Amino acid sequence: MKLLLFYAPSFWFKTYQKVLEQVPDQNLEAECHHAVVVFYHVEAEDLERSAKVLTKFIKNIKWLSGKFDSKNVVLHSFNHLSGSKAPADFAEGLIQEARDRLERSGYSVTVTPFGYLNEWKLHVAGESLAKVFKEI
């Protein structure tokens, strides 16, 4: 799994185009403030080590959230971080489990619609830690 994590004073998105036939039709628009925005890419190798990947994924999010005293998280599929891609149903399930675990820990989690291209506006804070790349 590859991650780009940002601390964002504001993040806005709107669905643009459905790219996976099997996902439900959605027309969403939302804005989040004071959030850790995570652009994630689930890789084929993650299937064999899903428990470890999920644990590290959540730990990285909580770590950066703690640095900025935020309990707001945005999860956005960004399949441009690697040439290796996990099956869509596996990736979607992994992210749903991450969302559930984060919410049980008191986080407010927004997940951009899976299987869609989205428009977005991302305001990233200036601090060095506001921009982090991780390989899990």
Q: Into how many domains does the chain fold?
A: 1
Half-sphere exposure of 41 (CA within 13 A, CB side): 15
**CATH number, position 87:** 3.50.80.10
Name the H helices within 42-128. Answer: 50-67, 88-104
Q: Where are the beta strands (DSSP E) in the chain?
A: 2-18, 29-41, 72-77, 108-111, 116-123, 131-135
Three-state secondary-structure class, residue 104: helix
Domain boundaries, position 122: 2-20+28-135
pLDDT for 62: 98
- pLDDT 10s per residue in the chain (136 long)? 999 999 999 999 999 999 988 888 999 999 999 999 999 999 999 999 999 999 999 999 999 999 999 999 999 999 888 889 999 899 999 999 999 999 999 999 999 998 899 999 999 999 999 999 999 9
